[in-house]
Structure 1
Amino acid sequence: MDKLFIFDTTLRDGEQVPGCQLNTVEKIQVARALEGLGVDVIEAGFPVSSPGDFHSVVEISKAVTWPTICALTRAVEKDIDAAAEALKYAKKGRIHTGIGTSDYHIRHKFNSNQEEILERAVAATKYAKRLVEDVEFYCEDAGRTDNAYLARVVEAVIKAGATVVNIPDTTGYCLPDEYGAKIKYLMEHVPNVHQAILSTHCHNDLGMATANTVQGVLNGARQVEVTINGIGERAGNTSLEEIAMIFKSHKEREIVTNINTTKIYGISRMVSSLMNMPVQPNKAVVGRNAFAHSSGIHQDGVLKNRESYEIMDPKDIGIDDNAIVLTARSGRAALKHRLSMLGVEMDQEKLDKVYQEFLKLADRKKDINDDDVLMLVGKDRTEMHRIKLEHLQVTSGIGLQSMASVCLNMAGVRRCEAAAGNGPVDAGIKAVKKAISNSDMTIQEFLIQAISKGSDDTGKVHMQVEYNGSIYYGFSANTDIIAASVEAFVDAINKFIV
């Protein structure tokens, strides 16, 4: 059996998605869940980019035990110094440095030439190697890099001390056969290639990230760089859950990972909730419909033999067909059990608070699902908000002018206002603007999503608000969609009102 190393970059590449930023406490929660999942490497951030990223790498290094903690840098000494400093508490630390190697990057990004870039690559690798033993080098835009030149770079950085060399399809341009052939070329034309591990890092711009990654592995790569739910820059990255289940399903390939697949579903829902990124219903492996069968022929086949139409057992990814159903009659133990299944652990005091909110929600809904539970846990993130929505009342109907009255708690000062609008949501937003005495903000994007089905369902609202030329993101979930909309607006405001 060949070991395939899983390098998770949810907390670095995944967190670069607009509106998905996490605070340090949330990053630690995800990192611990990734450790429980069995990932080999956690890319925790880009330390030189901001004090927040630096602090997060430090704290994640302290919080997890056995995975390697990786920090990203450019091929710049100050970046590498910052990464080494941030990793000082890591039990196993890795610096991930690199530079663009395609003609697009060499000529237009760096205004340079191949020889100079090669020298910079070697210098950065040697410098990082003096600070940590484990050095990964990335050849940015390797997907569009000439194979002969790429082989020269890979050979040189391995000679300089790189233990892993990352071959990213940065723009998601490659076709699977092209990317697989690129890895094969390196395996055959780099004399010292077996002194390091080749890694894949594929983006999904053309929908081929997973296919390219699989071809990379089949041609010799033994590390894959992935994210939970495939989140990441632009159209996203290769999905961790897809790669894990592909090789679990295709045992004949004799490639194994360290992933405990029964924890996939829980961490998928956790990341979706914390990052306010809904999982599309038809998403492979973890989507709501991944194991749903509506066709009569399919239903009949599955009832006779599950394997007629299912190549994976839902239990293998953590979906228990006999899961405890949460209702208003459920106790704390049932709620704690469900939270634990979703990778969320909490002390008794916090559990008691969440349980009281759970009972209120359960009185309004027939059944409580996993997204509802995670939404309840996430509500405590609003406790630190400077501006809080204390009261909202809306009047609306056919033939009536929509009116809304709100009361905000603004750092201890209560402000109440009312406004008319073109519908109840518009009225509520205008009332909030009056209460904070600021109307110079514009809603650029407004997305409402039902978690499941039913008129009593919890609705999620994602909002993008422009203020002073910058974009801020707000999120809320509530069984009252008007309340959720106003709460999301207030959440966005809290990002720029200080």
Structure 2
Amino acid sequence: MSDKDKVYIFDTTMRDGEQSPGASMSVEEKIQISRVFDDMGIDIIEAGFPITSPGDFEAVTAISKGLKNSIPCGLARAKKKDIDACYESLKYAKRFRIHTFISTSPVHMKHKLNMSNDQVIDAIKESVTYAKKFTDDVEWSCEDGTRTSLDFMCKTIELAINCGATTINIPDTVGYSIPEEFAKTITHIKNNVPNIDKAIISAHCHNDLGLAVANALAGLSAGVRQIECTINGIGERAGNAALEEIVMAIKTRNDLMPYDTGIKTELISKASKIVSNATGFPVQFNKAIVGKNAFAHESGIHQDGMLKNRETYEIMSPESVGVKQTSLVMGKHSGRHAFKDKLTDLGYTDMTDDVIQEAFGKFKVLADKKKHIYDEDIIALVDDSLIVDNKINAINLKSLKVYAGTGEPQRAEMTLDVFGDIKQTTQTGDGPVDAIFKCIKELYEHEVKLSLYQVHAVTEGTDAQATVSVKIEENDRTTVGQSADTDTLVASAKAYLNALNKMLIKREKKSLSGNIEHQKVKGGV
């Protein structure tokens, strides 16, 4: 791979990404993230802004000591004390980069810096020259570059290179540019800075107009060879160019962008999850590359195409970014082909078309009512269709009263219809839900493990309808029950009974299977 084909990936998740309100990361979390980044093959890791806090200084120091492949980098304003802090925190690495910057746009120079053009020129000369004393790897950025006069920008870039900068970064600091304009800016720099061949041009694009990735890739076509980005696109305001989108765009459309990043893309999903966990920022479901739905298909037309050839609706494989497999999500838009394929995955391989059609009809009715269809829901539908002549009586809730509050144990009074018999009981518990579940176990004796109890509101307000999900386990069998009600406690009781009734159907199915096997052994089948 020649230098002109190599695109350096500069990750700033732990510096610019951490500047997202609420995204602060601990030193330990940053160390953990840096190890994944190092394994991924990220070229430069901007570990922090050392002068800003003792915690940032400590994190940059720890990361610089631990990296094996990636180059650690620290950010510094055009001030000697900032550059000193960078050096002191990075000096343990065998190779490191100091990234210094100053604003060059009229609005920033006037209102933020209160400096003239000449004063900014002097600051660039002094800061880059000083940083060069500590390392040969110096990056310089003209903050708010896309709102800077092109003539003045070219003048500052030429000076920074003459003073020792080997990477020149062009930031679209406020996400103001559009792709065509950003590409023209890079082209102008290449054509008007006489010593630009002595430095690598970098792009640092923000996403205020949703164009960060598009701008960075437009810059790539014009001569950018380093892209600054973050995992999950986190960063100030609307965030930065997303690393996963940049890398996979280059890999997927290598016909139009014949470059190489050297990134081990199979670790992208892992990196996304670890950053999401550290920051507490969830990844939106439809986020490109790393979103939960990025490789999920619910539409019947899409599912049918995927089952025939995955290339019909996927331009990259989920495995290429570390996702185990494509997910055919069962929902109201799913077709019969996908439903039958799901049944095969669940172990139903010898079913007649009539049973499949009956179960599919019930599935479509259920899918109109429920947003999330669990495998256990589908299993219950099929079991219900299979055991037509052996249906068992359901256990139904007839009445429920719950007494809760302070000063005395919570108590539940319940009446159930159990196999046609009306039974009543009163139980106390560690909270009203515990009391309710104890009532059910008293009225119908059984032993199961409660592995999930989850409540979420369907609508807003104090009169919101609550949906309760309950998962129970018995030996190798699992069932999920769900119920919605404006009374959360009523929904809890019904959800548990729903799961229990499904478990009874599974028991009946197993009993039927055992009888059939017994008849086979006797020669009766």
Q: 1:151 to 1:398 in 2, by over 3 A?
A: farther
Task: Show the 5 A alignment for 1:423-434.
Answer: none
Q: 1:294 to 1:84 in 2, by over 3 A?
A: same
Equivalent of 1:27, from 30, 38, 46?
Answer: 30
| Structure of greater Rg | 2
Corresponding residue of 1:313: 317
Deviation at 1:91, TM superposition (A): 1.8
Corresponding residue of 1:75: 78
Corresponding residue of 2:507: none
Corresponding residue of 1:455: 469
Task: Show the 5 A alignment for 1:234-273.
Answer: 234-252=237-255, 253-273=257-277
Is it true that 1:216 corresponds to 2:219 in the alignment?
A: yes
Deviation at 1:101, TM superposition (A): 0.4
Deviations 1:107-165 (A, max 9, x none): 11122221221121121100100121110001000011111111111111001100101
Q: 1:209 to 1:15 in 2, by over 3 A?
A: same
Q: 1:315 to 1:454 in 2, by over 3 A?
A: farther
Structure 2 counterpart of 1:217, which letter? L
Deviation at 1:196, TM superposition (A): 0.5
Structure 2 CA distance, aligned partners of 1:250 and 1:310?
13
Deviation at 1:209, TM superposition (A): 0.5
Equivalent of 1:101, from 101, 104, 110?
Answer: 104
Q: Secondary structure at the match of 2:46?
A: strand
Structure 2 CA distance, aligned partners of 1:401 and 1:208?
54
Structure 2 CA distance, aligned partners of 1:4 and 1:63?
24
How many residue pairs get matched?
342
Equivalent of 2:186, from 180, 183, 186?
Answer: 183
Structure 2 CA distance, aligned partners of 1:403 and 1:230?
47
Deviation at 1:295, TM superposition (A): 1.7
Structure 1 counterpart of 2:191, which letter? E
Q: Secondary structure at the match of 2:297?
A: coil
Q: Percent identity?
A: 49
Deviations 1:234-254 (A, max 9, x none): 111010000010000011221
Corresponding residue of 1:5: 8
Task: Show the 5 A alignment for 1:469-484.
Answer: none
Is it true that 1:91 corresponds to 2:94 in the alignment?
A: yes
Deviations 1:297-336 (A, max 9, x none): 211111111111111111100112299xxxxxxxxxxxxx
Point out where structure 1 has 5 or more consecutive residues left out of the alignment: 324-365, 368-396, 406-445, 447-452, 458-480, 482-498
Equivalent of 2:113, from 100, 110, 113?
Answer: 110
Q: 1:161 to 1:456 in 2, by over 3 A?
A: farther
Structure 2 CA distance, aligned partners of 1:178 and 1:231?
24
Deviations 1:406-463 (A, max 9, x none): xxxxxxxxxxxxxxxxxxxxxxxxxxxxxxxxxxxxxxxx9xxxxxx98259xxxxxx
Structure 2 counterpart of 1:237, which letter? N
Task: Show the 5 A alignment for 1:226-237.
Answer: 226-237=229-240
Corresponding residue of 1:290: 294
Structure 1 counterpart of 2:188, which letter? Y
Structure 2 CA distance, aligned partners of 1:255 and 1:403?
67
Structure 2 CA distance, aligned partners of 1:37 and 1:66?
10
Point out where structure 2 has 5 or more consecutive residues left out of the alignment: 328-373, 376-399, 409-459, 461-466, 472-487, 489-525
Structure 1 counterpart of 2:134, which letter? L
Task: Name segments (4+ residues, structure 1) moved above 2 Å.
Answer: 397-405, 453-457
Corresponding residue of 1:345: none
Corresponding residue of 1:420: none
Q: 1:402 to 1:111 in 2, by over 3 A?
A: farther
Q: TM-score, normalised by structure 2?
A: 0.62
Structure 2 counterpart of 1:214, which letter? L
Q: Secondary structure at the match of 2:209?
A: coil
Equivalent of 2:168, from 165, 168, 179?
Answer: 165
Q: 1:286 to 1:404 in 2, by over 3 A?
A: farther
Corresponding residue of 2:480: none
Structure 2 CA distance, aligned partners of 1:108 and 1:398?
66
Task: Show the 5 A alignment for 1:345-424.
Answer: none
Deviation at 1:403, TM superposition (A): 6.2
8 A Cα contact 2:20 2:235, kept in partner: yes
If asked which structure has higher relative contact order (CA below 8 Å, sep 6+), I would say: 1
Structure 1 CA distance, aligned partners of 2:289 and 2:52?
34
Deviation at 1:19, TM superposition (A): 2.0
Structure 2 counterpart of 1:142, which letter? G
Q: TM-score, normalised by structure 1?
A: 0.66
Structure 2 CA distance, aligned partners of 1:155 and 1:271?
37
Corresponding residue of 1:276: 280
Query: What is the root-mean-square deviation of aligned Cα atoms in Å?
Result: 2.5
